[in-house]
Amino acid sequence: KTLSGQFRIGGMTCAACVNSVEGILRKLPGVEGAVVALATSLGEVKYDPSVINKDEIVSAIEDAGFEAAFLE
Ligand code: 9UX
């Protein structure tokens, strides 16, 4: 089963940042899709909660030097 979560992301200032964040997310085990929008600073990730959770997704983004928080 796949869940979908929206998150707000900080620290992205150019289009290459978007590619970087999407690339990080798409490589994570359990992540099945990720899109990030520079204009709105919002992203959406589809993930398998039996493999990865939101805290781990946030940590991966923050390890790359960005800030992230799920909306809920
Ligand atoms: Mo753009 Mo983002 O030059 O970390 S790649 S600012």
Phi, psi at 45, each rounded to 5°: -130, 135
Distances 72 to 19, 51, 63 between C-alpha atoms, Å: 24, 20, 22
Nearest alpha carbon, ligand 1 atom 1: 14
SS3 of 63, please? helix
- Joined together, the tokens standing for residue 62 give 């923050």
For position 31, which CATH number holds?
3.30.70.100
- The ipTM, to two decimals, is 0.88
Q: What is the pLDDT of residue 72?
A: 75
pLDDT digits (tens, 9 = 90+) for 41-57: 999 999 999 999 999 99
* Total domains in the fold of the chain: 1
CA of 50 to the centre of ligand 1 (A): 32
What amino acid occupies position 16? A
CA of 11 to the centre of ligand 1 (A): 9
Closest atom, ligand 1, to C-alpha of 17: 2
Q: What is the pLDDT of residue 58?
A: 98
Q: Which domain holds residue 52?
A: 3-70
pLDDT digits (tens, 9 = 90+) for 13-45: 999 999 999 999 999 999 999 999 999 999 999
**Cβ 15 under 6 angstroms from ligand 1:** no
